[in-house]
Amino acid sequence: MSLAASPTISTSNRTIRIGSRKSQLALVQTYWVKDQLQKAFPDRTFEVHTMSTQGDKILDVALAKIGDKGLFTKELEVGMLNGDIDFAVHSLKDLPTRLPEGLMLGCVTERENPADALVVHANHKDKQLDTLPAGAVIGTSSLRRLAQLRHYFPHLSFKDVRGNLNTRLAKLDAGEYDALILAAAGLQRLDMADRIHQVIPAEISLHAVGQGALGIECRSDDGEILTLLKALEHLPTAYRCYAERAFLRELEGGCQVPIGVNTVLEGDVLTLTGIVASLDGKQVVKDTITGDATEAAQLGTQLAQRMRSQGAQTILDEILATIERS
Instruction: Tell me which residues are annotated as active site.
Output: 94
Distances (CA, A) of 15 to 10, 18, 67, 85, 219: 12, 10, 35, 10, 16
Residues facing 287 on adjacent strands: 274
Q: What ranges in the chain are assigned the alpha helix state H?
A: 24-40, 54-57, 63-66, 74-81, 143-152, 165-173, 184-189, 223-229, 235-251, 296-307, 313-325
CA distance 197 to 69: 31
- Dihedral sign of CA atoms 300, 301, 302, 305 in order: positive
Residues facing 104 on adjacent strands: 218
The residue count for the chain: 326
Among 62, 56, 55, residue whose Cα is nearest residue 326: 62
